[in-house]
Structure 1
Amino acid sequence: MNRGLYINATSLATNQKKLEVLTNNLANVNTAGFKKDMSLTETFPEKLLAKINGQRSRPRLRGENQIEYETNGQVHRASTSNGYFVVQTPMGNSYVKDIRFIIDDEGYLRTFYQDNTDEYKTDYENYVTDNQGNPIQGAGENIEDLSQGIVYYPPSHVVGTMSAGLKFQKNVTDFTQGNISETGGTYDLALNASGFFKVADEEGNIYYTRDGSFTINQDGMLTTSTGEPLQGIDGNIYIEGNQVSIDTDGGVIVDGDIIGFLDIVDLENREFLRKIGDNQYQMAEGVEAEEVPYEGEVLQGYLESSNVNAIQEMVEMITLLREYEAGQKAIRAQDEMLEKASNEIGRI
């Protein structure tokens, strides 16, 4: 297949998925407590490009190329002009001339991203490897010397690298605080800091939500708008009385008596939260929730708005549509060139 066609096709497919994320954000612009999603993309692995029928010569000796190295806090950056750094990806090794990495909790050199609290994360990220494809541990090492030693120098018939295009990597949820607006509702609750209400289903599975639009069911139990019980520290909360108030500590007061406390927590590993619908989250399969105490306040009679900025999302959508149109034009041009090659040049 013509490589230009393939690269542009992957761009169109990626932009289509990014557009789906944007439209879902816009559809929930008025949903209480909704947190927008952001799309992360990455290129396919950079593969070495060699001369056709090139002679296989011996690899260059190490030490002939000095790398450029700098560090900024936890982030290390290295670049090389003659050789390549090797990164292990799920789709094979990638050869790059410039690399940014951190040292993870186990001491390995890995690529990274930053969450909305600017904390560095390495889950689902790639390992930097040596020439034998082994992940490198750098804890306690001189990282500059280590980076110099792992540069791969290919044979002389290798002339560069090429990529097969772009792919959609994953969604990342932006948990930044939305605006808090007053509603006056008795069971409308908002959190003014990082944290989650805990809810449960009939089977006892625990979910997390920022949507504080709660209600009372026919049994007097405090539930979400879709019927899941809101969890208290001692279990489900039943309201039997007329005067109901909820203080800033999450204490539920009915007719002057405290009947329980809302179970509100924050999560150290909230990057593993996955949306399951109804504005609720569940931990990824095989991951235990790292719950820590909630440090903010509970506001009764208020709701947190969605953190989606409709104007920014619309601007990004227009940009995506322009990119999609440009990709279509590039594919059309490639197709026309292939048509000329097969119909006109073939007659000569």
Structure 2
Amino acid sequence: MTRGLYTAATGMIHQARRLDTVANNIANINTYGYKKDQVVTRSFSDELLLRLNNRQSPSSQPIGTINHGVTVEEVVTSYQQGILQHTGVNTHMALNGPGFFTIITDDGERYTRDGSFMLDSLGYLVTADGWPVAGETGPIYIGTEDFTVDSMGYIFVNDQYVDRLQIVDFEDPQALRKAGHNLFINSDPDNQILDYQGEVMQNYIEGSNVDAVKEMVEMVTATRNYESNAQIIRMIDETLDKTVNEIGRV
């Protein structure tokens, strides 16, 4: 009976993790360039059940298997592209295709799909948090003049070339880890950096790839599963209570 208790408990833990992930996705539904997370589930290894030796069966006989519940294998990020929205703001950039803008932080290079850039007081292209956007020669200085960015990421100020956006792609995007502030870090030194093959779109911005309807369905499903497992635990607890306090007195 306690096996059922443990199985239901693992189910509750798993559903709670699903709910946390869905809630975070929904909270970032309006975050530019946000990539949703998904929980990958793995069941515990099955155990073989054997009939114990007795007079009729001199040796143990397999009678089936039993599973002890599920666990979260990992949380993976979906890099499906969000909707590209026209903003008319010339510091806004979107990537049409896989790839990431490179951002210069105090902790080293980070990567993002959020192209809601702006100019700081010194005329440098920066993120909403003030981190410089990386060009091929370092931080990108625009100044106060008009500028354009072509589909290859080349930046022109008053029709004069000044730099190129440092845009990269990775052989294995799943090796990236979220580092906060809508940034990613490459956690695997063997994860090869690839040349960007997509298109840069100035005056556009990429929305979140969170589907509100799907996330709400996921939340309802996870909530019901959580409640079902909780009910199973209550039933087992009541049964154990009767076993100890009532049957035990007979």
Q: Shorter-chain TM-score category?
A: over 0.9
Partner of 2:217: 315
Give, as a single letter, the amino acid of the residue that structure 2 aligns with 1:11.
G
> Are 2:114 and 1:214 equivalent residues in the alignment?
no
C-alpha contact (below 8 Å) 2:48/2:64 kept by paired residues: yes
C-alpha contact (below 8 Å) 1:241/1:254 kept by paired residues: no
**Mean Cα deviation higher: 29-38 or 213-222:** 213-222
Partner of 2:45: 45
Q: CA deviation at 1:51?
A: 3.0
Provide the rounded CA distance (Å) in 2 between the counterparts of 1:23 and 1:242.
42
C-alpha contact (below 8 Å) 1:11/1:166 kept by paired residues: yes
**Mean Cα deviation higher: 15-24 or 209-218:** 209-218
Partner of 2:229: 327
Give, as a single letter, the amino acid of the residue that structure 2 aligns with 1:170.
E
Provide the rounded CA distance (Å) in 2 between the counterparts of 1:47 and 1:276.
39
Q: Secondary structure at the match of 2:23?
A: helix
C-alpha contact (below 8 Å) 1:34/1:279 kept by paired residues: yes
Alignment of 1:149-298 (within 5 A): 156-203=60-107, 205-284=108-187, 286-298=188-200
Alignment of 1:116-131 (within 5 A): none
Structure 1's unaligned 5+ residue stretches are 58-154
Cα gap change, 1:338 to 1:206, in 2 (>3 Å): same
Partner of 1:344: 246
C-alpha contact (below 8 Å) 2:122/2:143 kept by paired residues: no
Q: Deviations over 1:79-119 (max 9, x none)?
A: xxxxxxxxxxxxxxxxxxxxxxxxxxxxxxxxxxxxxxxxx
Q: Secondary structure at the match of 2:20?
A: helix
Structure 2's unaligned 5+ residue stretches are none
Q: Deviations over 1:253-304 (max 9, x none)?
A: 11121100001121111110101111110112x4333111211211111100
Greater RCO (CA < 8 Å, at least 6 residues apart): 2
Partner of 2:12: 12
Q: CA deviation at 1:223?
A: 1.3
CA RMSD of aligned residues (A): 1.9
C-alpha contact (below 8 Å) 1:241/1:255 kept by paired residues: no
Give, as a single letter, the amino acid of the residue that structure 1 aligns with 2:131.
E
Q: TM-score, normalised by structure 1?
A: 0.68
Q: Secondary structure at the match of 1:259?
A: strand
Cα gap change, 1:206 to 1:35, in 2 (>3 Å): same
Give, as a single letter, the amino acid of the residue that structure 2 aligns with 1:199.
I
Provide the rounded CA distance (Å) in 2 between the counterparts of 1:253 and 1:161.
67
Q: CA deviation at 1:342?
A: 1.1
Provide the rounded CA distance (Å) in 2 between the counterparts of 1:263 and 1:31.
22
Alignment of 1:29-178 (within 5 A): 29-52=29-52, 156-178=60-82
| Percent identical residues | 41
Aligned length: 249
Provide the rounded CA distance (Å) in 1 between the counterparts of 2:112 and 2:39.
21
Q: TM-score, normalised by structure 2?
A: 0.94
Return structure 1 stretches of 4+ with deviation > 6 angstroms: none
Cα gap change, 1:242 to 1:3, in 2 (>3 Å): same
Provide the rounded CA distance (Å) in 2 between the counterparts of 1:332 and 1:9.
11
Provide the rounded CA distance (Å) in 2 between the counterparts of 1:289 and 1:220.
34
C-alpha contact (below 8 Å) 1:54/1:157 kept by paired residues: no
